[in-house]
Structure 1
Amino acid sequence: MQQFETTGKTDDQRKKIGQLLRTANARLIHMQLDAGEEVAEHDSPDEVIILVPTGKVQFNVEGEEIVVDRKSVLQIAPKERHSLLALENAEVFVFQITP
Protein backbone atom coordinates (compact mmCIF):
# COMPACT_ATOMS: atom_id res chain seq x y z
CA MET A 1 0.00 0.00 0.00
CA GLN A 2 1.13 3.53 -0.77
CA GLN A 3 -0.43 6.89 0.02
CA PHE A 4 0.15 9.90 -2.23
CA GLU A 5 -0.46 13.52 -1.25
CA THR A 6 -1.79 16.12 -3.63
CA THR A 7 -0.11 19.50 -3.55
CA GLY A 8 -1.89 22.84 -3.78
CA LYS A 9 -0.97 25.54 -6.22
CA THR A 10 0.23 28.89 -5.00
CA ASP A 11 -1.64 32.11 -5.75
CA ASP A 12 0.88 33.13 -8.41
CA GLN A 13 0.59 29.89 -10.40
CA ARG A 14 -1.73 29.38 -13.31
CA LYS A 15 -2.87 25.82 -13.91
CA LYS A 16 -1.00 23.18 -11.97
CA ILE A 17 -0.67 19.74 -13.51
CA GLY A 18 1.36 16.94 -11.98
CA GLN A 19 1.68 13.19 -12.06
CA LEU A 20 0.78 11.62 -8.71
CA LEU A 21 1.73 8.05 -9.52
CA ARG A 22 2.65 5.62 -12.24
CA THR A 23 2.32 1.84 -12.23
CA ALA A 24 2.88 -0.80 -14.90
CA ASN A 25 -0.61 -0.25 -16.35
CA ALA A 26 -1.91 3.06 -14.99
CA ARG A 27 -1.03 6.69 -14.47
CA LEU A 28 -2.78 9.23 -12.23
CA ILE A 29 -2.54 12.93 -13.04
CA HIS A 30 -3.79 15.69 -10.74
CA MET A 31 -4.77 19.10 -12.14
CA GLN A 32 -5.86 22.29 -10.43
CA LEU A 33 -7.36 24.88 -12.74
CA ASP A 34 -8.72 28.37 -12.21
CA ALA A 35 -11.97 29.33 -13.93
CA GLY A 36 -11.22 30.14 -17.57
CA GLU A 37 -8.04 28.08 -17.82
CA GLU A 38 -7.79 25.64 -20.71
CA VAL A 39 -5.88 22.53 -21.70
CA ALA A 40 -5.35 22.46 -25.46
CA GLU A 41 -6.68 19.68 -27.67
CA HIS A 42 -4.70 16.45 -27.47
CA ASP A 43 -5.21 12.69 -27.33
CA SER A 44 -3.95 9.74 -25.33
CA PRO A 45 -2.92 6.30 -26.53
CA ASP A 46 -4.63 4.91 -23.41
CA GLU A 47 -8.16 4.83 -22.05
CA VAL A 48 -8.81 7.85 -19.83
CA ILE A 49 -11.17 8.20 -16.86
CA ILE A 50 -11.86 11.73 -15.56
CA LEU A 51 -13.09 12.69 -12.07
CA VAL A 52 -13.80 16.29 -11.07
CA PRO A 53 -14.35 16.38 -7.27
CA THR A 54 -14.55 20.18 -7.12
CA GLY A 55 -15.69 22.74 -9.67
CA LYS A 56 -17.00 22.25 -13.21
CA VAL A 57 -15.02 21.51 -16.34
CA GLN A 58 -16.26 21.57 -19.93
CA PHE A 59 -14.69 18.92 -22.14
CA ASN A 60 -14.81 18.92 -25.91
CA VAL A 61 -14.38 15.31 -27.05
CA GLU A 62 -14.29 14.79 -30.81
CA GLY A 63 -16.47 17.92 -31.25
CA GLU A 64 -19.01 16.99 -28.55
CA GLU A 65 -19.19 19.22 -25.47
CA ILE A 66 -19.89 17.78 -22.02
CA VAL A 67 -19.69 19.33 -18.56
CA VAL A 68 -18.14 17.18 -15.83
CA ASP A 69 -18.48 17.87 -12.11
CA ARG A 70 -18.57 15.88 -8.85
CA LYS A 71 -21.77 14.13 -9.94
CA SER A 72 -20.32 12.52 -13.07
CA VAL A 73 -17.41 10.54 -14.47
CA LEU A 74 -16.11 10.89 -18.02
CA GLN A 75 -14.55 8.03 -20.00
CA ILE A 76 -12.48 8.88 -23.07
CA ALA A 77 -11.44 6.13 -25.47
CA PRO A 78 -7.86 5.82 -26.73
CA LYS A 79 -7.00 8.33 -29.49
CA GLU A 80 -10.16 10.46 -28.99
CA ARG A 81 -9.15 14.12 -29.41
CA HIS A 82 -10.20 16.25 -26.45
CA SER A 83 -9.65 19.62 -24.79
CA LEU A 84 -10.98 21.17 -21.62
CA LEU A 85 -12.02 24.50 -20.14
CA ALA A 86 -12.51 25.13 -16.42
CA LEU A 87 -15.92 26.76 -15.96
CA GLU A 88 -15.16 27.20 -12.25
CA ASN A 89 -12.04 26.74 -10.15
CA ALA A 90 -11.63 22.99 -10.41
CA GLU A 91 -9.66 19.99 -9.28
CA VAL A 92 -9.36 17.18 -11.84
CA PHE A 93 -8.06 13.62 -11.54
CA VAL A 94 -7.07 11.92 -14.80
CA PHE A 95 -6.59 8.14 -14.78
CA GLN A 96 -4.80 6.78 -17.86
CA ILE A 97 -5.21 3.02 -18.08
CA THR A 98 -3.08 0.81 -20.29
CA PRO A 99 -4.40 -2.68 -21.05
Structure 2
Amino acid sequence: MPKLTEVSESSAHVGLTEALPVVAESTTSRVLVNNDLLRVVQFTFDEGEMLTEHASPRAVVVQLVSGTMRFTVDGVEHTMGEGDVIYLAPGARHALVADTACRMTLVMVDTTA
Protein backbone atom coordinates (compact mmCIF):
# COMPACT_ATOMS: atom_id res chain seq x y z
CA MET A 1 0.00 0.00 0.00
CA PRO A 2 1.39 3.43 -0.92
CA LYS A 3 2.40 5.74 1.91
CA LEU A 4 -0.47 7.81 3.32
CA THR A 5 -0.28 11.50 2.41
CA GLU A 6 -1.73 13.69 5.14
CA VAL A 7 -4.57 15.95 3.97
CA SER A 8 -3.12 18.73 6.14
CA GLU A 9 0.33 18.60 4.48
CA SER A 10 1.13 20.09 1.08
CA SER A 11 3.45 18.24 -1.29
CA ALA A 12 5.23 18.82 -4.58
CA HIS A 13 5.96 16.18 -7.20
CA VAL A 14 8.45 17.41 -9.79
CA GLY A 15 10.70 15.73 -12.31
CA LEU A 16 8.07 13.09 -13.08
CA THR A 17 9.02 12.78 -16.74
CA GLU A 18 12.49 11.61 -15.75
CA ALA A 19 11.37 9.67 -12.67
CA LEU A 20 8.61 7.79 -14.49
CA PRO A 21 9.64 7.34 -18.14
CA VAL A 22 7.63 5.40 -20.69
CA VAL A 23 8.98 1.84 -20.64
CA ALA A 24 8.87 -0.27 -23.82
CA GLU A 25 5.90 -2.66 -23.92
CA SER A 26 4.81 -1.65 -20.40
CA THR A 27 2.33 0.26 -18.30
CA THR A 28 3.86 1.92 -15.25
CA SER A 29 2.43 4.04 -12.45
CA ARG A 30 3.42 6.05 -9.41
CA VAL A 31 1.09 7.11 -6.59
CA LEU A 32 1.74 10.79 -5.87
CA VAL A 33 -0.92 11.57 -3.25
CA ASN A 34 -2.89 9.06 -1.20
CA ASN A 35 -5.28 9.95 1.62
CA ASP A 36 -8.90 9.53 2.72
CA LEU A 37 -10.12 12.27 0.35
CA LEU A 38 -8.18 11.65 -2.84
CA ARG A 39 -5.57 9.63 -4.64
CA VAL A 40 -3.42 11.02 -7.47
CA VAL A 41 -1.60 8.57 -9.73
CA GLN A 42 0.56 9.22 -12.78
CA PHE A 43 0.63 6.47 -15.42
CA THR A 44 2.74 5.88 -18.49
CA PHE A 45 1.71 3.55 -21.31
CA ASP A 46 3.79 2.44 -24.25
CA GLU A 47 2.04 2.36 -27.62
CA GLY A 48 -0.48 -0.49 -27.73
CA GLU A 49 -0.71 -0.92 -23.95
CA MET A 50 -4.20 -1.08 -22.47
CA LEU A 51 -6.27 -1.28 -19.33
CA THR A 52 -9.20 -3.67 -19.56
CA GLU A 53 -12.67 -2.58 -18.54
CA HIS A 54 -13.09 -1.90 -14.83
CA ALA A 55 -14.79 0.56 -12.46
CA SER A 56 -13.91 2.61 -9.38
CA PRO A 57 -16.20 3.31 -6.43
CA ARG A 58 -14.68 6.82 -6.36
CA ALA A 59 -15.28 9.74 -8.72
CA VAL A 60 -12.34 9.91 -11.15
CA VAL A 61 -10.79 12.66 -13.26
CA VAL A 62 -8.39 11.56 -16.00
CA GLN A 63 -6.13 14.02 -17.82
CA LEU A 64 -3.95 12.95 -20.71
CA VAL A 65 -0.63 14.79 -20.32
CA SER A 66 1.00 13.54 -23.53
CA GLY A 67 0.27 11.17 -26.39
CA THR A 68 -3.03 9.89 -27.76
CA MET A 69 -5.34 7.17 -26.52
CA ARG A 70 -8.82 5.74 -26.93
CA PHE A 71 -10.70 5.90 -23.63
CA THR A 72 -14.01 4.07 -23.40
CA VAL A 73 -16.62 5.12 -20.80
CA ASP A 74 -19.80 3.06 -20.41
CA GLY A 75 -19.35 1.66 -23.92
CA VAL A 76 -18.67 5.02 -25.63
CA GLU A 77 -15.17 5.48 -27.07
CA HIS A 78 -13.45 8.88 -26.88
CA THR A 79 -10.20 9.75 -28.68
CA MET A 80 -8.04 11.73 -26.26
CA GLY A 81 -5.15 14.04 -27.08
CA GLU A 82 -2.76 16.02 -24.93
CA GLY A 83 -4.58 18.04 -22.27
CA ASP A 84 -7.95 16.32 -22.71
CA VAL A 85 -9.93 15.48 -19.57
CA ILE A 86 -12.57 12.84 -18.82
CA TYR A 87 -14.70 12.74 -15.67
CA LEU A 88 -15.94 9.34 -14.48
CA ALA A 89 -18.88 9.15 -12.10
CA PRO A 90 -18.46 6.57 -9.31
CA GLY A 91 -19.03 3.09 -10.74
CA ALA A 92 -18.62 4.10 -14.41
CA ARG A 93 -17.13 1.23 -16.46
CA HIS A 94 -14.05 2.31 -18.39
CA ALA A 95 -11.06 1.01 -20.36
CA LEU A 96 -8.27 2.45 -22.49
CA VAL A 97 -5.85 1.70 -25.32
CA ALA A 98 -2.73 3.82 -25.91
CA ASP A 99 -2.44 4.73 -29.60
CA THR A 100 0.99 6.28 -28.94
CA ALA A 101 3.28 6.37 -25.93
CA CYS A 102 1.26 8.25 -23.28
CA ARG A 103 1.46 9.92 -19.91
CA MET A 104 -1.79 10.24 -17.94
CA THR A 105 -2.70 11.68 -14.55
CA LEU A 106 -5.61 10.15 -12.65
CA VAL A 107 -7.29 11.75 -9.63
CA MET A 108 -9.73 9.66 -7.57
CA VAL A 109 -11.99 11.57 -5.15
CA ASP A 110 -13.88 9.95 -2.30
CA THR A 111 -17.38 11.38 -2.56
CA THR A 112 -18.40 9.94 0.81
CA ALA A 113 -15.67 11.58 2.93
Letter in 2 for 1:95: V
Structure 1 residue 9: Cα displacement: 3.5
Structure 1 residue 64: Cα displacement: 0.4
Runs of 5+ in structure 2 lacking a partner? Answer: 1-9
- Greater share of residues in strand: 1
Q: TM-score, normalised by structure 1?
A: 0.89
Specify the structure having the higher radius of gyration (Cα). 2
CA, structure 1 residues 43+11, in 2 after alignment: closer, same or farther (shift >3 Å)? Answer: closer
Q: TM-score, normalised by structure 2?
A: 0.79
SS of aligned partner of 2:57 = coil
**CA RMSD of superposed structures (Å):** 1.7
1:24 equivalent in alignment to 2:36: yes
Equivalences for residues 37-48 of structure 1 within 5 A: 37-48=49-60
Letter in 1 for 2:63: L
Tell me which residue corresponds to 1:72.
84
Instruction: Kindly tell me the number of residue pairs found equivalent between the two proteins.
Output: 99
* Residues 51, 69 of structure 1: 8 Å contact kept: no
Separation in structure 2 between the aligned mates of residue 73 and residue 10 of structure 1, nearest angstrom: 20
Letter in 1 for 2:108: Q
* Residues 30, 42 of structure 2: 8 Å contact kept: yes
SS of aligned partner of 1:44 = coil
CA, structure 1 residues 11+77, in 2 after alignment: closer, same or farther (shift >3 Å)? Answer: closer
SS of aligned partner of 2:70 = strand
Separation in structure 2 between the aligned mates of residue 10 and residue 61 of structure 1, nearest angstrom: 24
Match of 2:63 among 51, 55, 58: 51
Separation in structure 1 between the aligned mates of residue 23 and residue 95 of structure 2, nearest angstrom: 24
Greater relative contact order (Cα 8 A, min sep 6): structure 1 or 2? 1
SS of aligned partner of 1:29 = strand
Separation in structure 1 between the aligned mates of residue 64 and residue 87 of structure 2, nearest angstrom: 12
